[in-house]
Amino acid sequence: MTMIFLLCCLIAIAFGVSALIADKLTKPAPEPKREPVPFVSRHLKPDEILTLLHQLHIIDSINPITPESYHNHTRYTLEELISARLGRTFQLTSRDWFHIMRAWYVTRGQDSAERIERLDLRLKLNI
């Protein structure tokens, strides 16, 4: 009788251990903490942001910025104008230009002051 009791206890323990192992193996991995991706690759200086917004607004007034602006000379024209105005070299990476151009494009139809304010905030906070 005690032998049957011990055998039942061993079987129960074996099932418990196998269930514990199964839970550990099938448990989903915890979500990794994601750091927010910065809006631009480096924090722009206040005078760079001000000049960028000013020149971007002028360029958009002459020739509206659209998704095609990513592939044409608009980025290089903008860099040249900003560099000349600041008196030092100013460059944007392709990724930075994409984010800036997209943020400007999606606000089309809004008042210019609102567009500038939104992009200014994103550039200052870099989010």
Confidence band (pLDDT; 50, 70, 90) for 65?
Answer: very high
Whole-Å CA distances, 113 to 71, 82, 91, 120: 26, 20, 25, 10
In a domain, 4, yes or no: no
C-alpha span between 91 and 40 (Å, rounded): 12
Q: How many CB atoms neighbour CB 68 within 10 A?
A: 10
C-alpha dihedral over 98, 75, 64, 110, to 10 degrees? Answer: 50
pLDDT in tens, 17-46: 787 787 777 778 788 888 888 999 999 999
Task: Give the chain's domain count.
Answer: 1
Residue 107 is assigned to a structural domain of this protein: yes
Q: Is residue 96 part of a domain?
A: yes
Global confidence as pTM = 0.73
Residues of the chain above pLDDT 70, percent = 100
Does residue 94 sit within a domain? yes
Q: Specify the DSSP class assigned to residue 40.
A: S
